[in-house]
Amino acid sequence: MCELPEPYGQPVTLHVGVSLRERRIDKYLHGRFRNLSRHFIQNAIKAGSVKVNGEPVKPSFKLSHRDVIEFVMPEPEKKEIEPEDIPLNVLYEDDDLIVLNKPPDLIVHPARGNKHGTLVNALAHYSEHLSSGLGEFRPGIVHRLDRNTTGVMVVTKHDAAQWKVAKQFELRQVEKSYLAIVHGTPELTADRIDAPLGVHPKIREKYAVRPETGKEAVTFYEVIEAFRGFSLIHCKPRTGRTHQIRVHLSHLKHPIVADDMYGGKLVYPWQLADTEPEVEEPVIARCALHAWTLEFTHPTTEQRVRFEAPLPADMQAFLDLLRRHRAE
């Protein structure tokens, strides 16, 4: 991978070597600049920001050994993010980073149908200094959590920090761990789930284990506490596929509580207490998954740093009820 050109408008020259893997220019550049989306690169090529041997090319242009590529990084498309006064739980902050404890029911960045009420809207209100998104209009965002997953996230304040931290995610140098409350107790109290993931064959919004066509996905898990009918699980993903932990635990036949997309069910207090059914709110109304810890190398000090987000109130209340009524 290459360092991104700074400031925008300055050319980077690439010499195509004998180990060329991707022959198409758009795929080749996406491989060299992994934090720029392929869509962004294709638009840059169409706009004339990429030349091969001094000539503009199309995104489908086929490269050869000894070709010389000149890439002028265009400025990201100017868009407006409306700052919104949404409370943020900041765990740590310095000149390079903001580390947050994300609450439930918060989408990370604006998308179709969700232009307001996102973490990016909150960040725009909180800080005047956020990285550009490196080709995607997601200021400050290095990685994401699902809407209803709580826990620790890192946000960057400038592009150099974003590039260095995002590169660690790409190279799997970031240590992440999650806590989940699942239905039942796995037969093995600790194990490795190695099951490739891909888009669900019938439901576009879902992911599924796809042994033949899926991408590598590995999750290590350990049962921290077992109860009658439920378990608290510690998960350490070694890859970062969308919905990875949710799909892997469902594949293990122990879906996360309240994760209705992957087989989890709502749980009510009367069920835990083994009493007569009552009309009451569920113990937890969202997927019981929490990003617990995050460890990476600081982009400026180059020291390893580790951050921990305490268990949210809804999951803690669930555990308290399990310990009271379902202790083994």
Which positions are catalytic?
Answer: 146
Q: Are 118 and 107 in contact (CB under 8 A)?
A: yes
324: phi then psi, degrees, rounded to nearest 5: -80, -40
Residue whose entry in the numeric block shows the structure tokens 């965002």: 141
Say which amino acid occupies 210. Answer: R
- The answer for residues whose C-beta is within 8 angstroms of residue 295's C-beta and 6 or more apart is 174, 175, 176, 304, 305, 306, 307
Q: How many CB atoms lie within 10 A of CB 207?
A: 20
Q: Are 300 and 182 in contact (CB under 8 A)?
A: no
Element (H, E) at 292: strand 289-297
Q: Are 145 and 283 in contact (CB under 8 A)?
A: no
Q: Are 32 and 17 in contact (CB under 8 A)?
A: no
Q: Are 170 and 182 in contact (CB under 8 A)?
A: no
